[in-house]
Amino acid sequence: MLNFEKHHAGLKVLSSRLKKLENLYLRGNQCNDSIFSSLSGFSSLKSLDLSYNEVITGSGLKVLSSRLKKLENLDLFGNQCNDSIFSSLSGFSSLKSLDLSGNLLTGSSTGINSFQVLASGLRNLEELYLSSNKLNDSVLSSLGGFSTLKSLYLSNNSFTGSTGLNGKVVNHSYLRWHSLVRFNNYTCINPYYCDLNGTLPAQGWCELKNLEEVDLSGNNLKGVLPPCLGNLSSLRSLDLSYNQLEGNIASSHLSHLTQLRSLSLTNNYFQVPISFGSFMNLSNLKFIVCDSNELIAAPSFQPLVPKFQLLFFSASNCTPKPLEAGFPNFLRSQHDLVFVDLSHNKFVGQPFPSWLFENNTKLDRLYLRDTSFIGPLQLPQHPTPNLQTVDISGNSIHGQIARNICSIFPRLKNFMMANNNLTGCIPPCFGNMSSLKYLDLSNNHMSCELLEHNLPTVGSSLWFLKLSNNNFTGRLPLSVFNMTGLEYLFLDGNKFAGQVSGTFSLASSFSWFDISNNLLSGMLPRGIGNSSLNRFDLAIDLSRNQFEGTIPIEYFNSSALEFLDLSENNLCGTLPLGFNATHLRYVHLYGNRLSGPLPYDFYNLSSLVTLDLGDNNLTGPIPNWIDSLSELSIFVLKSNQFNGKLPHQLCLLRKLSILDLSENKFSGLLPSCLSNLNFTASDEKTSVEPGMTSRDYGSQEEIFVSIGFNYRYEKTLWPEIDVKIAVELTAKRELTAKKNFYTYEGDILRYMSVMDLSCNRFIGQIPTEWGNLSGIFALNLSQNNLTGLIPSSFSNLKQIESLDLSHNNLNGRIPAQLVELTFLSVFNVSSNNLSGRTPEMKNQFGTFDESSYKGNPLLCGPPLQNSCDKTESPSARVPNDFNGDGGFIDMYSFYASFGVCYIIAVLTIAAVLCINPHWRRRWFYFIEECIDTCYCFLAINFRKLSRFRG
């Protein structure tokens, strides 16, 4: 075997010397079509691998076919071959395996006709790989001539030029077709990119009596399975996953495939009887995958005991609604199971199937997540030495974890029982379990004083530990902080108390450290933020405790730090100075007693996505360098003592989507340039990607190979991290003096766009340009000193859900165009000087009550009690020059009428005094008495004041 990896120069010379060379590998180079002229001398060659060269088109192969008469295996995977290559391949009469996957085959009429020519030339072909091309469904009708074919691979036909799966660019160096890793994990998510679509034809491929392996996964095939499928009597492996096929598999002809060993139906629309009665006579069946279809009840007359003994059974995500048929009881007769996955099904009221452990001593992986099982977790009487993964999270399992679990499952690596009703403590044997890597017992009711011997210690394999939201007490077990392999530690939501030692430091392996929402007190541990890591995804969460004192500068000096949450503690002092955290992206310091200005050191945090400093005592203006935070998406300074005018640099934060400056002392005019903010959706502001994942596979590889099926079924263990940033919008109701909170968190927050400038000292008018904030969801300008009109351009805020302009000095009419805001659920303009009619009671405005308008004496119309006049004078109507608000005309009329009335009143009093002598005398007497009273008051009090001073 000779392996060339760099150049093909000199191949002609070598061919004259290596006359008996049988295997030549030239994969992963930059070979082009000129290589073929250099290979003609290798007359004894049986296997030629030219895969992953990317530039070979196949031109020149025809000449080579006349020289390499003994060639049996040709691999051209990952090149630029098109339909013209078929005519060049027909001369390789000895060829048994041909791989044209990952090329540019289109399935045009010329190419399909060439399949028939190719079949006439390749009389001995047994393996044909055509996956990841652009072939359409007519290719299946053109394969009838390959009578010797045993393996046919046509998966993922969605290539477009140099793009590959689902239209994404494919780096061929990462693709390996002949290894155990197939393309079964990829799917044609967008049918636009799937050329192999339509229904399965009844001609061509169904005539291939010798077919043993067929892979049609990851396409856009529709309809029911054709009856001719039952003619493939030699079929051992069939993969139809990730299509849009439908029908009840019990009525299909799959039951005629007596040699079938492996069946994959994942991600279709099949109806699958839960008894699998139609497969009962398939004694060779070892592997069934039917995830993401529909499990249905089975007919009662079907046999209960099948002839097969499965090794691998996966039927997850098949019953989003409660399944009346219950748990698949045919599994009771299975004794060789290695892998079982029934996660995300609703077997409501079913007890946990402990007999799976008892009956299957070879069991390696068991996934029963979110299946609604009840009752205790009963362990088998005898050890199950091969079991490595147990995931039964999201059920209603109660009771304690058995203390002998480590002896029953001695090789346990991954144990997940989150979101159940577990009580008690962690079995002490877990502290000595060296094989344990992933332990998640979060969101239960476990309670005890957690001691160090309950947890694995230094030297263990543990990389993920999550005990969140239980009732564990005592002091933090400090030994876990120094574990060299631990990546993720979650002890949040418990009742750990006391002070944390200020001397320890995190192990260099840590990626996420969360001890939030406990009863921890004292100073922040100084060593915790001083990790010198080689990675850039360190996250520290110490929020919702009782820590006090200042923030050590180490927390902002780690080059690895990405996420820092110290919120809701009793921290005081100023923000650290002189730090350099170049990769810091999320900073949460709200709910403390921090003071001082925003330090200049934040200027260098160009990657910052979230900065939440709310509910502190910070002072000063927003600095002019704020635009250096170009990635900033969430900026919260609410409930501080910030002051000054808003700098125009704030308008340059193009990714800003949540701006909360409420309850401060900001003043000046509202910047019109804030209308330039895009308020775009962003995933970064709500989620932090975990730095590490683990592929959960292993011994099942050997099992698949043992049944003659080259496949690796793997599951990814993603660290389950819940980072929820809550945004509260407030609207104060005058009568109750209470605030209504509208909270947005989780997934909805990625689309949320908010601007809250309430409870400040802003003056002037609301900029008309703010009507361009078309993507905003909530705008709060309440409790300021704003004047002028409500801009009619606000009718362009089509996405807005909350608009609060209350407690200002706005005047004029409420624009009638606002009724077009069909998503508006909160509207408040109370306590202003608005006048005229309220908007028409239609759309969302039909849901707003009197509290939305109260405190505006000159407003009339429903839902207010005071009604408007049925007719209005022409002089009261509003010209178009004033945007339909009519504010100036109403106020001028008011001032004019008030002046006229005042003058009339004065003249009336003067006329009465002139005409009636009696009233005239009483008036002068009254004035004289007032003068005397004032004189006496001043004289007496002046003497008292003089004595007091003396």
**CB-based contact 755:674 (threshold 8 Å):** yes
Give the pLDDT mean for 825-840: 94
Residue 537 in this model has a pLDDT that exceeds 60: yes
Q: In terms of pLDDT, which residue wins out, 760 or 477?
A: 760
Per-residue confidence (pLDDT) for residue 677, from 0 to 100:
83
Q: In terms of pLDDT, which residue wins out, 926 or 80?
A: 80
Residue 926 in this model has a pLDDT that exceeds 90: no
pLDDT band at 187 (very low <50, low <70, confident <90, very high): very low
Per-residue confidence (pLDDT) for residue 177, from 0 to 100:
30
Per-residue confidence (pLDDT) for residue 800, from 0 to 100:
92
List Cα–Cα distances, 629 to 95, 654, 667, in angstroms.
62, 10, 23
Q: Encode pLDDT of 868-882 as tens digits.
A: 875 344 433 444 434
Residue 799 in this model has a pLDDT that exceeds 70: yes
Percent of the chain with pLDDT over 70: 78
CA angle 55, 59, 62 (to 5 degrees): 140
Q: In terms of pLDDT, which residue wins out, 911 or 650?
A: 650
pLDDT band at 167 (very low <50, low <70, confident <90, very high): very low
Per-residue confidence (pLDDT) for residue 302, from 0 to 100:
54
**CB-based contact 557:532 (threshold 8 Å):** no
Per-residue confidence (pLDDT) for residue 241, from 0 to 100:
94
Give the integer Cα–Cα distance in Å for 420 and 415.
13
In the DSSP assignment, the letter for residue 896 is: H
Give the pLDDT mean for 924-943: 69
Give the integer Cα–Cα distance in Å for 8 and 39.
9
Q: In terms of pLDDT, which residue wins out, 842 or 181?
A: 842
pLDDT band at 299 (very low <50, low <70, confident <90, very high): low
Per-residue confidence (pLDDT) for residue 718, from 0 to 100:
55
Q: What is the pTM of this model?
A: 0.80
E strands in 889-943: none
Q: In terms of pLDDT, which residue wins out, 713 or 584?
A: 584
Residues in the chain: 950
Per-residue confidence (pLDDT) for residue 325, from 0 to 100:
62
DSSP states of 585-645: -EEE--SSEEEE---GGGGG-TT--EEE--SSEEEEPPPGGGGG-TT--EEE--SSEEEEP
Q: What angle, 0 to 180 degrees and rounded to 10, lies between the N-to-C axes of helices 887-915 and 917-949?
A: 110
Q: Encode pLDDT of 416-459 as tens digits.
A: 999 999 999 999 888 888 889 999 999 999 999 988 777 877 66
Residue with tokens 């909530």: 778
Residue 601 in this model has a pLDDT that exceeds 70: yes
Nearest to 209 by CA among 233, 186, 190: 233
Nearest to 230 by CA among 210, 250, 258: 258
Q: In terms of pLDDT, which residue wins out, 624 or 894?
A: 624
DSSP states of 510-569: -SEEE--SSEEEEEPPGGGG----SSS-EEEE--SSEEEEPPPGGGGT-TTEEEEE--SS
**CB-based contact 546:520 (threshold 8 Å):** yes
End-to-end CA distance of the chain: 120
Give the integer Cα–Cα distance in Å for 795 and 820.
6
Give the integer Cα–Cα distance in Å for 34 and 37.
6
Give the pLDDT mean for 576-597: 89
**CB-based contact 217:241 (threshold 8 Å):** yes
Give the integer Cα–Cα distance in Å for 835 and 853.
10
**CB-based contact 704:236 (threshold 8 Å):** no
Q: Encode pLDDT of 706-738 as tens digits.
A: 444 444 455 555 555 555 555 554 444 333 333
Per-residue confidence (pLDDT) for residue 390, from 0 to 100:
95
Highest mean pLDDT among 558-567, 612-621, 941-950 belongs to 612-621
Nearest to 233 by CA among 266, 264, 255: 255
Per-residue confidence (pLDDT) for residue 520, from 0 to 100:
94
Burial class (CB in 10 A: 0-12, 13-18, 19+), 173: exposed
Residue 343 in this model has a pLDDT that exceeds 80: yes
Mean pLDDT score of the chain: 81
Please report, as a single letter, which amino acid is at residue 631.
E
Per-residue confidence (pLDDT) for residue 66, from 0 to 100:
79
Residue 586 in this model has a pLDDT that exceeds 50: yes
SS3 letters for 756-768?
A: ECCCCEEEECCCH
Give the pLDDT mean for 910-934: 74
Per-residue confidence (pLDDT) for residue 702, from 0 to 100:
47
Please report, as a single letter, which amino acid is at residue 457.
T
Burial call 112-150: b when 16+ CB within 10 Å, e when fewer: bebbeebbebbeebbbbbbbbbbbbbbbbbbbbbbeebb
DSSP states of 420-459: SEE-S---GGGGG-TT--EEE--SS---SB--GGGS--TT
Give the pLDDT mean for 327-346: 91
Q: Encode pLDDT of 400-414 as tens digits.
A: 999 999 999 999 999
The region of weakest confidence among 297-301, 374-378, 427-431, 927-931 is 297-301
Under the phi-then-psi rule, with left for phi > 0, alpha for psi from -120 to 50, and beta for the rest, what region is 949?
alpha
**Kind of pairing, strands 151-153 and 127-129?**
parallel
Per-residue confidence (pLDDT) for residue 669, from 0 to 100:
96
Nearest to 612 by CA among 582, 592, 641: 592
Q: In terms of pLDDT, which residue wins out, 949 or 394?
A: 394
Residue 473 in this model has a pLDDT that exceeds 90: yes
pLDDT band at 557 (very low <50, low <70, confident <90, very high): confident
Q: Encode pLDDT of 607-662 as tens digits.
A: 899 999 999 999 999 999 999 999 999 999 999 999 999 999 999 998 898 999 99
pLDDT band at 188 (very low <50, low <70, confident <90, very high): very low
H or E element: which one contains 15? helix 11-17
Q: In terms of pLDDT, which residue wins out, 942 or 815?
A: 815
Per-residue confidence (pLDDT) for residue 504, from 0 to 100:
58
**Kind of pairing, strands 47-49 and 73-75?**
parallel
**CB-based contact 472:448 (threshold 8 Å):** yes
Per-residue confidence (pLDDT) for residue 483, from 0 to 100:
78
Residue 296 in this model has a pLDDT that exceeds 90: no
Per-residue confidence (pLDDT) for residue 744, from 0 to 100:
53
Residue 4 in this model has a pLDDT that exceeds 60: no
Residue 179 in this model has a pLDDT that exceeds 50: no
Tokens of 500: 């944390």
* Sequence-distant (≥ 6) Cβ neighbours of residue 584 within 8 angstroms: 556, 561, 562, 564, 605, 607, 608
Burial class (CB in 10 A: 0-12, 13-18, 19+), 616: buried
Give the pLDDT mean for 895-911: 78
Per-residue confidence (pLDDT) for residue 946, from 0 to 100:
53
Give the integer Cα–Cα distance in Å for 152 and 137.
14
Give the integer Cα–Cα distance in Å for 136 and 101.
14
Is the N-terminal amide bond of 322 cis, ω within 30° of 0? no
Per-residue confidence (pLDDT) for residue 169, from 0 to 100:
31
Highest mean pLDDT among 5-14, 468-477, 556-565 belongs to 468-477
The region of weakest confidence among 158-167, 815-824, 841-850 is 158-167
In a 3-state reduction of DSSP, which class is residue 706?
helix
Tokens of 328: 């698949």
Burial class (CB in 10 A: 0-12, 13-18, 19+), 376: middle
Per-residue confidence (pLDDT) for residue 651, from 0 to 100:
93
Q: Encode pLDDT of 133-155 as tens digits.
A: 888 777 888 888 888 999 999 99
Residue 893 in this model has a pLDDT that exceeds 90: no
The region of weakest confidence among 245-259, 471-485, 532-546, 720-734 is 720-734
Q: In terms of pLDDT, which residue wins out, 560 or 345?
A: 345
Positive or negative, the CA dihedral 650, 653, 654, 656 is negative
Positive or negative, the CA dihedral 711, 713, 716, 717 is negative
